[in-house]
Amino acid sequence: MAEVKKDKGPKLADPIESTIDLATQEMITRSHKLGVETVFDRALNMKQCNIGLQGICCKNCAMGPCRLPLPKGGIEGEDTRKGLCGATANTIAARNFIRMIAGGAAAHSDHGRSVAEVFMAAARKESDAYTIKDTEKLLAVAPHLGVAVTVEVDGETLDRDIDEIALEVGEKALNEWGKADGELLYLKRAPQPLYEKWEKYGVKPRNIDREIVEIMHRTHMGVDQDYKNLIKQGTRACLADGWGGSMLATDLQDILFGTPYPLQSEANLGVMKKDHVNIIIHGHEPVLSEVIVAVAQSQEMIDYAKSKGANGIQLGGICCTANEMLQRHGVPTAGNYLQQELAIITGACDAMVVDIQCIFQNLANVAKCFHTKLITTHPIARMEQENVIHIEFNEHYALEDATRIVKMAIDNFENRDADVMIPQHKSAQIAGFGVESIKYHLGGTFRGTYYTLNDNIINGRIRGIAGVVGCNNARTKHNEHHITIIKELIKNDVIVLSTGCSAITAAMHGLLTPEAAAVYCGPGLAEICETVGIPPVLHLGSCVDNSRILLAATEVVKAGGLGNDIADLPAAGSAPEWMSEKAISIGHYFVTSGVYTVFGGTLPTFGAPVFQDYLFKEMEKMYGGMWDVTEDPIEHAHKMIAHIDKKRKELGIDK
C-alpha cells in the first residue's frame, strides 16, 4: 500500500490506496489529522516475514524456530531442507496449516458450545432473557440429533411436548463436543456419496473437541511426520467445525432467536447518527447482543436517552455480531473488520461492546483518544489496557447485564466532544437469507417450477453458484478484491451466496439489493433476480453460518438434476481477502465437502510445493474439491467460472 509523504516518524497510509470505500477513506484522513494510528498505518510499518508467510517456519519446540526458506528459483532435484529434528518443509507446512485449522475450528465450535449452554438454560427455563422462539426450526432440527418429535401412545402417534424436545435437543447437542464414541450426528445430513467418501478416507469426526485436541498432539514436537497423515487430521477437525460446531451454532441460534428471513437495512459508517446515542456491537456471539437489542429498543431506555439530550438510541454492528443482529432484527451494519477503529474515530461512538473474535487490541488505544466506553463482555476475551471496562455476561442475568451496558452508553452521550465526524456514506441492503428463504423465494422448492434454483441452473439462466465469504486483510486494498470478484461472477450469471465480512462489503457497495441485478448481472441472472425480487448476492449471515451454504448445496443436490454430490454441482468457493485461522478451517471444510475453493492473496503453503500440490490436486481425487490461490481478483473469478463450466459440461448442461 502506498504511503502519505511526511518528513519523519512512522509512515501513514494513503487513504485512496488503502480502500475503495469512501467512508473509510474519509476516516483514515481524519485519523491522520487527529494523530490516531490505525491498522492501515500499521500495515505499512510492520513488514511481514516471508518465511512465516510461506508456512515454513517451525516454532513448535525451543531448538527452533527453524526456518526453511525456499531457494530462489524453486527446488531443483531433491528437497534437502530440514529443521534441527529433521522435519521437512512439507511436515512443517502441514503442521502449521492444521494448527490454523485447529484454531479456526476451536473458535467456531467454542462459540457453538456457548450457544448450546444458553440453549440449555432456556430449555430448563432458568433465564428470563431467553426462550425457545422458533419451534418450527426446533422440530426440523430434532430428528438430525436423533430426537423424536412424536410419541406412540396406545397405537396413536402424538406430538411430543415442545419443552421435552428442547431439553433433549440441548443435551444431544452438548454431547457432540465430548461424547466417548460414535461419530458426529450431523454428518448424515450430507449427501450420501459425500458421507461415503468421508468413511472411505477415515475422516469422520468422532466428537468436536477430540479432533482439535488431537491436532495439538500430532503437531507437538516429534509426533506426526507425514504431511498426508497430518492433513487427514486437519480434515477431521474442519469437518467437526463445518458439519459440527458451526452448524450446531447456526441451528441453536435460529431456534433460540428466530430463523432469519429477508429484511431491509443499511450498511456502512453512515448508519451512525450524530444526535443519537450510538452503541456499536462487535464480535461474533449473539447471546448478549440479542438482549442488548431488546433493551435498547425498550421505551424506558429510549426515554432515558432523551432525558440525556439524545434523540434516541442507534445500534450498529461490526463483523459477525453485526451479521447476527442484522439478519434477525435489521440492525444496520456499521462496518466490516478493517473499520472497527474507524467507528470510534467518528467521535460519535458512545459505547463499543465486544464479545469474541476479530477484535483489535488497538481498539483500547483508539478509545483512549475519545470518550468511547470500550466494554468487553466475555470471560475468555479481555483486554489488558486500563481504560477497558469488563462487564462479564451471564446468561442467568442477561437482562441486568444488557441494561447496565445500554445505560452506560446513554450516560456517556453527554461526554462527547463537539468534534464529531460521521461519514455520510451508507447503502441499502436486503439481508437475512437462509436455506428456508432461498427455497421460499425461488418457487417454494428447489426443483420443478419456472423460478426454482435447480431448473434455472439446468436451463443456464443461472450459470452456477459461488460462495464468497471471509474477512478483510490490511495487506490487500480494503474491499477491492471482494467487490471485483463478486461483480465479475454476477456479470457472468453466477449467483453469489455470501457471509461474514464479505457480505458486509457487498452490502456497503450496493450489491445486496434487487436493483443491483439490472446494473451488474448478466442477462440470465438479472432476469431471475428481477422476476422473484432477490439481490444477485444473498447474505446468509455470519461466519458460523457458512454451514447454511453447506446445507443449501445439499438441498440443491437432493432436489435432483445436478448430480449426486456437492462435488457434482456447478459451484465454487472463494475467500478474496482472508486473514483468520477460521478462514483456513472454512476453506478446508468447503474443499473436503467437494467445493473447489480459491483464496485471494497468499497461502501458508507456498514454501512447501509438494504439500501444496497435495492440497491443490490430490484432494480433488478424494473429495471432489480442491484448494487454489491467486493474487489477481479477475483471474480469481475466472478460475471459479472455469470450474463451474467444467461441472456443467460433466453434467451435460453446457450450452
Q: Interface residues with ligand MSK (CB under 6 A)?
A: 284, 319-320, 337, 358, 470-471, 500-501, 542-543, 580, 582
DSSP state of 128: S
DSSP-derived secondary structure for 136-199: HHHHHHGGGGT--SEEEETTEEEEPPHHHHHHHHHHHHHHTTT-SSS--GGGGGS-HHHHHHHH
Shorter beta-carbon distance to ligand MSK: residue 470 or 587: 470
Return the SS3 of 447.
Answer: coil
> What is the CB neighbour count within 10 angstroms for residue 474?
22
Shorter beta-carbon distance to ligand MSK: residue 107 or 139: 107
Extract long-range pairs of 62-69: CB within 8 Å, 24+ residues apart. Answer: 66/92, 68/92, 68/607, 69/607
Shorter beta-carbon distance to ligand MSK: residue 568 or 581: 581
> What is the CB neighbour count within 10 angstroms for residue 394?
14
Shorter beta-carbon distance to ligand MSK: residue 227 or 599: 599
Q: How far is the CB of 506 from ligand MSK (least distance, A)?
A: 12
Q: CA-CA distance, 268 to 620, in Å (whole number)?
A: 39
Shorter beta-carbon distance to ligand MSK: residue 83 or 332: 332
Q: How far is the CB of 507 from ligand MSK (least distance, A)?
A: 13
Shorter beta-carbon distance to ligand MSK: residue 288 or 319: 319
Query: CA 336, 338, 339, 341 torsion: positive or negative?
Result: positive
Going by C-alpha positions, the residue among 392, 577, 573, 379 that lies closest to residue 472 is: 577
According to DSSP, the residues that pair with 67 across neighbouring strands are: 57
According to DSSP, the residues that pair with 40 across neighbouring strands are: none
Q: How far is the CB of 476 from ligand MSK (least distance, A)?
A: 12
Contact present, 600 and 636 (Cβ < 8 Å): yes
Q: How far is the CB of 250 from ligand MSK (least distance, A)?
A: 13
CB proximity list for 383: less than 8 A, separation 6 or greater: 361, 363, 364, 374, 376
Q: How far is the CB of 66 from ligand MSK (least distance, A)?
A: 29
Shorter beta-carbon distance to ligand MSK: residue 347 or 500: 500
Q: How far is the CB of 337 from ligand MSK (least distance, A)?
A: 4
Shorter beta-carbon distance to ligand MSK: residue 127 or 502: 502
Q: How far is the CB of 116 from ligand MSK (least distance, A)?
A: 19
Q: How far is the CB of 542 from ligand MSK (least distance, A)?
A: 6
Q: How far is the CB of 320 from ligand MSK (least distance, A)?
A: 4
Shorter beta-carbon distance to ligand MSK: residue 113 or 582: 582
Q: CA-CA distance, 395 to 321, in Å (whole number)?
A: 17
Return the SS3 of 360.
Answer: coil
Q: How many helices (H) and strands (E) does the chain have?
A: 28, 20
